[in-house]
């Protein structure tokens, strides 16, 4: 009675396991199939002959039904995966198994009391040995496979160790029922533990063989018992082994899915990182781009605000880079920027700074430095690094024939109203000053410099509204013919007053206007005003207007001037534009084209302040100036024989090139006499006429009056 009941329960249990497994397997498989279909539909970029990656093998393994033998690499990974978890699971399983095994001593005492002392002794001995060996293995950090093998051997030994003394009992009926418990050992190796299929198979075969051997050597029962019981045990072996096989496949598939998910996750995060890198990197130089460096700047700023950690901001501009590009081509230009970027990156390493490309030929360095001296040292290092590279740049017009950089630096300092933007702004000012000082040099922001002061901020703001609010005006300084004494032209000079009426000297506001770009509108305003005030009604024959190279560089400048001439009806020949060799003195092709367009309009081009800049001589070569204005400093130095000789030489040089000569800054009778002696064409200066408003030049326009006579200002 008891045997069929036990067998039925066991079979029901196994069937339950199987159907549960089948449901899980089919859910997994449909998921796998869905993914496989998605993959098949996805475009194949890599070509079919490409070598399979591990991820591809996973995909193949998941798609193959029935599952083919796993790739060795994958199998090794599977073995390796979760070693610790497997070790712990087997160990805990073994503890439970040992406890249950020992508890069965009670059933031994109840069912086979005559041999119980042997079976119980066997149970305790085997349990102790198994436990000690297990703990030793765990402590030695043995592999999960080794621990599994030990446990499987322990289970087989436990079965044999219990069965052998039990069979000696005199109570044959009890033992004939009790023997069914042998199936529990088979279930343990196949289902309770998570052994690999091969290990479970071997262990359960051994258990089956032990059982069959025991059945054979168990004479008191009849053949039908042996047949029924033997069949039960074989079925139990087949079922549990099959379930074990299924479980193992299932575990492997779960591993594959998890592995694939991990691969995809890694790929996605790698892609994310690559994208982030890309979005923060300048594609040409590989340095951080403006976006990334702006973020760094914010971080430095936060550190400064919260913890008082000072930092330096250094702007670096490659000198005459546009000319370099024009001369050597854009590819060489790119190469030059890459070389400079690499050298700069290396040079700032000792200062733990970071570098980025801030604009076309502009780089920025941020470094955690505290003192002005440290900042100056780093800025100087940067500047000298590029100079020492000695990259050829033979087309520069300042006598230097290698690539150099101008460097402007600012650094954090305690001040009221500190703002992040101000840091860059101050570095920018310093850079501007470095360029103005002849380039290839370093300038540190100086808060006491008038160009750097808050006042210059106010002026910059004022310049934006200057024309609308009538804050700008023009005064005119006569230019006289030396022999006739007649006013042949006047020079328009801009004046600016503040809202409270205080006047701002041009030496202060013109550079600010150039730096901020306000000079463009002011320049158009000046040309238009000149036309309206003096030229439209023929009060003066020619008016010269100072034009900044920034204006000449602006696309469409000549066309806008033409439009002003058109709207005022003034002939181009009545205007002269004075160009000074200043900061933006790169005479590039745009400027030359613009000058040529202006000449086509009839406008004369004069070279102002000749002798003060770097490029005057080369400009003389490039441009056919109508008049060259010799800077007043040469005249003022002419009271010494050396100075006089110098002035004479300059006059000779200009005259030989066929330009008209105008000398500025005539302040005395002696100077005027000297001009006569040197047969100078025209003069300008306080002695021959101070700048005055337009009203002082208003004369009745008569057909023969082309020379306005100066009404001396009161």
Rule CB under 6 A: which residues touch ligand C2E? 477, 493-494, 505-507, 510, 519, 526, 546-548, 578, 580, 608-609, 632, 665, 667, 684-686, 691
**Partner in contact with 638, chosen from ligand C2E, Mg ion, none, beta carbon below 5 to 8 Å by kind:** none
Backbone angles phi, psi at 58, to 5 degrees: -60, -45
Identify which of 425, 282, 291, 294 has the alpha carbon closest to the alpha carbon of residue 341. Answer: 282
* Gap between the Cα atoms of 596 and 54, Å rounded: 68
HSE at residue 235, side-chain half, CA atoms within 13 A, is 15
- Kindly tell me which of 243 and 526 has the beta carbon lying closer to ligand C2E: 526
- Rounded least distance, CB 672 to ligand C2E, Å: 11
- Kindly tell me which of 24 and 636 has the beta carbon lying closer to ligand C2E: 636
* Gap between the Cα atoms of 355 and 292, Å rounded: 10
Tokens of 286: 């590989």
- Rounded least distance, CB 607 to Mg ion, Å: 10
Residues in contact with Mg ion by the rule CB under 5 A? 546, 578, 608-609, 664
**Partner in contact with 494, chosen from Mg ion, ligand C2E, none, beta carbon below 5 to 8 Å by kind:** ligand C2E
- Rounded least distance, CB 492 to ligand C2E, Å: 6
Q: Are 210 and 159 in contact (CB under 8 A)?
A: yes
* Gap between the Cα atoms of 116 and 147, Å rounded: 30
- Kindly tell me which of 426 and 664 has the beta carbon lying closer to Mg ion: 664
**Partner in contact with 667, chosen from Mg ion, ligand C2E, none, beta carbon below 5 to 8 Å by kind:** ligand C2E
- Kindly tell me which of 310 and 685 has the beta carbon lying closer to ligand C2E: 685
Identify which of 194, 242, 168 has the alpha carbon closest to the alpha carbon of residue 86. Answer: 194
Identify which of 111, 89, 105, 243 has the alpha carbon closest to the alpha carbon of residue 170. Answer: 111
Q: 313 by DSSP, 3-state: which?
A: strand
- Kindly tell me which of 386 and 594 has the beta carbon lying closer to ligand C2E: 594
**Partner in contact with 510, chosen from ligand C2E, Mg ion, none, beta carbon below 5 to 8 Å by kind:** ligand C2E
**Partner in contact with 366, chosen from ligand C2E, Mg ion, none, beta carbon below 5 to 8 Å by kind:** none
- Kindly tell me which of 597 and 667 has the beta carbon lying closer to ligand C2E: 667
- Rounded least distance, CB 546 to ligand C2E, Å: 3
- Rounded least distance, CB 580 to Mg ion, Å: 7
- Rounded least distance, CB 678 to Mg ion, Å: 18
* Gap between the Cα atoms of 231 and 655, Å rounded: 128
Alpha carbon 8 to its chain's center: 70
**Partner in contact with 7, chosen from ligand C2E, Mg ion, none, beta carbon below 5 to 8 Å by kind:** none
Say which residues have a Cβ less than 8 Å from residue 435's Cβ, sequence separation at least 6.
Answer: 317, 319, 406, 583
Q: What is the CA radius of gyration of the chain?
A: 49
**Partner in contact with 190, chosen from Mg ion, ligand C2E, none, beta carbon below 5 to 8 Å by kind:** none
**Partner in contact with 506, chosen from ligand C2E, Mg ion, none, beta carbon below 5 to 8 Å by kind:** ligand C2E
**Partner in contact with 25, chosen from ligand C2E, Mg ion, none, beta carbon below 5 to 8 Å by kind:** none
* Gap between the Cα atoms of 468 and 474, Å rounded: 15
Tokens of 630: 């010799």
| Partners of residue 317 on adjacent β-strands | 362, 406
- Rounded least distance, CB 344 to ligand C2E, Å: 34
* Gap between the Cα atoms of 639 and 636, Å rounded: 7
Q: What is the dihedral of CA 521, 523, 526, 531, to 10 degrees?
A: -100
- Rounded least distance, CB 556 to Mg ion, Å: 24
DSSP state letters, 474-511: EEEEEEEETTT--EEEEEEEEEEE-TTS-EE-HHHHHH
- Kindly tell me which of 333 and 689 has the beta carbon lying closer to ligand C2E: 689
- Rounded least distance, CB 705 to ligand C2E, Å: 25
- Kindly tell me which of 161 and 691 has the beta carbon lying closer to ligand C2E: 691
- Kindly tell me which of 471 and 526 has the beta carbon lying closer to ligand C2E: 526
- Kindly tell me which of 361 and 609 has the beta carbon lying closer to ligand C2E: 609
Helix boundaries (H) for 532-588: 549-553, 557-568
Q: Are 262 and 33 in contact (CB under 8 A)?
A: no
**Partner in contact with 477, chosen from ligand C2E, Mg ion, none, beta carbon below 5 to 8 Å by kind:** ligand C2E
- Rounded least distance, CB 531 to Mg ion, Å: 18
**Partner in contact with 548, chosen from Mg ion, ligand C2E, none, beta carbon below 5 to 8 Å by kind:** ligand C2E
- Rounded least distance, CB 629 to Mg ion, Å: 5
- Kindly tell me which of 441 and 662 has the beta carbon lying closer to Mg ion: 662
Q: Are 201 and 241 in contact (CB under 8 A)?
A: yes
- Kindly tell me which of 510 and 542 has the beta carbon lying closer to ligand C2E: 510
| Angle, CA 413 vertex, CA 409 and CA 416 arms, to 5° | 125
**Partner in contact with 665, chosen from Mg ion, ligand C2E, none, beta carbon below 5 to 8 Å by kind:** ligand C2E
- Rounded least distance, CB 488 to ligand C2E, Å: 16
DSSP state letters, 649-674: HHHHHHHHTT-EEEE----SHHHHHH
Q: Residues for the chain: how many in total?
A: 714
Identify which of 513, 523, 634 has the alpha carbon closest to the alpha carbon of residue 583. Answer: 513
């Amino acid at each position: 009675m008891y045997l069929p009941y036990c067998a039925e329960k066991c079979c029901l249990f196994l069937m339950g396991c199987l159907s549960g497994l089948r449901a899980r397997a089919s859910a997994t498989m449909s998921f796998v199939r869905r993914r496989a279909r998605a993959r098949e539909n996805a475009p194949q970029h890599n070509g079919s002959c490409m070598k399979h990656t591990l991820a591809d093998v996973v995909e193949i393994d998941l798609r193959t039904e029935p599952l083919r033998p796993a790739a060795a690499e994958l199998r090794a990974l599977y073995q390796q995966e979760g070693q610790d978890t497997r070790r712990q699971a087997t160990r805990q399983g073994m503890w439970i198994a040992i406890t249950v095994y020992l508890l069965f001593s009670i059933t031994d005492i109840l069912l086979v009391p005559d041999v119980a002392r042997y079976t119980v002794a066997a149970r305790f001995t085997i349990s102790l040995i198994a436990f000690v060996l297990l703990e030793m293995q765990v402590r030695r950090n043995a592999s999960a496979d080794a621990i599994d093998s030990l446990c499987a051997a322990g289970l087989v030994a436990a079965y044999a160790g219990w069965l052998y003394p039990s069979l000696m009992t005199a109570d044959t009926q009890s033992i004939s029922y009790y023997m069914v418990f042998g199936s529990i050992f088979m279930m343990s190796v196949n289902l309770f533990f998570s052994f690999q299929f091969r290990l479970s198979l071997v262990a359960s075969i051994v258990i089956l063989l032990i059982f069959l051997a025991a059945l054979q050597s168990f004479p008191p029962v009849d053949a039908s018992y042996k047949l029924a019981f033997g069949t039960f045990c074989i079925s139990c072996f087949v079922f549990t082994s099959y379930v074990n096989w299924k479980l193992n496949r299932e575990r492997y598939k779960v591993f594959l899915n998890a592995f694939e998910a991990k691969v995809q996750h890694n790929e996605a995060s790698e892609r994310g990182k690559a994208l982030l890198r890309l979005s923060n990197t300048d594609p040409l130089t590989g340095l951080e781009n403006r976006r990334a460096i702006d973020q760094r700047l914010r971080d430095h700023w936060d550190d400064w605000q919260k913890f008082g950690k000072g930092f330096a901001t250094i702007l670096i501009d490659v000198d005459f880079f546009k000319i370099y590009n024009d001369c050597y081509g854009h590819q060489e230009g790119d190469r030059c920027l890459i070389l400079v970027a690499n050298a700069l990156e290396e040079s700032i390493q000792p200062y733990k700074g970071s570098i980025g490309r801030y604009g076309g030929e502009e780089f920025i360095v941020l470094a955690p430095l505290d003192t002005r001296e440290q900042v100056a040292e780093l800025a100087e290092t940067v500047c000298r690094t590029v100079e020492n590279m000695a990259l050829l740049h033979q087309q520069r017009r300042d006598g230097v024939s290698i690539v150099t950089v101008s460097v402007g630096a600012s650094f954090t300092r305690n001040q009221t109203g500190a703002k992040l933007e101000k840091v860059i702004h101050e570095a920018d000012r310093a850079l501007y000053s470095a360029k103005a000082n002849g380039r290839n040099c370093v300038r540190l922001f100086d808060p006491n410099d008038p160009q750097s002061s808050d006042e210059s901020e106010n002026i910059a703001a004022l310049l934006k509204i200057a024309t609308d609010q009538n804050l700008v005006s023009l005064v005119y300084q006569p230019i006289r013919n030396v022999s006739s004494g007649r006013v042949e032209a006047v020079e328009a000079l801009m004046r600016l007053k503040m809202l409270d009426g205080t006047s701002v000297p041009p030496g202060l506001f013109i550079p600010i206007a150039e730096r901020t770009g306000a000079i463009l509108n002011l320049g158009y305003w000046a040309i238009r005003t000149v036309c309206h005030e003096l030229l439209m009604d023929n009060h003066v024959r020619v008016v010269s207007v100072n034009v900044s190279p920034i204006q000449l560089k602006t696309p469409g400048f000549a066309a806008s001037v033409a439009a002003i001439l058109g709207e005022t009806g003034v002939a181009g020949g009545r205007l002269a534009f004075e160009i000074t060799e200043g900061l933006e003195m790169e005479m590039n092709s745009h400027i030359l084209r613009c000058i040529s367009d202006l000449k086509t309009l009839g406008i004369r081009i004069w070279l102002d302040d000749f002798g003060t800049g770097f490029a005057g001589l080369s400009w003389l070569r490039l441009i056919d100036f109508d008049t060259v204005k010799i800077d007043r400093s040469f005249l003022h130095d002419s009271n010494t024989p050396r100075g006089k000789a110098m002035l004479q030489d300059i006059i000779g040089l200009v005259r030989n090139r066929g330009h008209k000569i105008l000398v500025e800054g005539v302040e005395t009778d002696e100077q005027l006499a000297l001009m006569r002696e040197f047969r100078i064409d025209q003069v300008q200066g306080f002695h021959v006429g101070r700048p005055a408003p337009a009203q002082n030049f208003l004369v009745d326009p008569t057909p023969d009056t082309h020379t306005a006579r100066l009404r001396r200002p009161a």
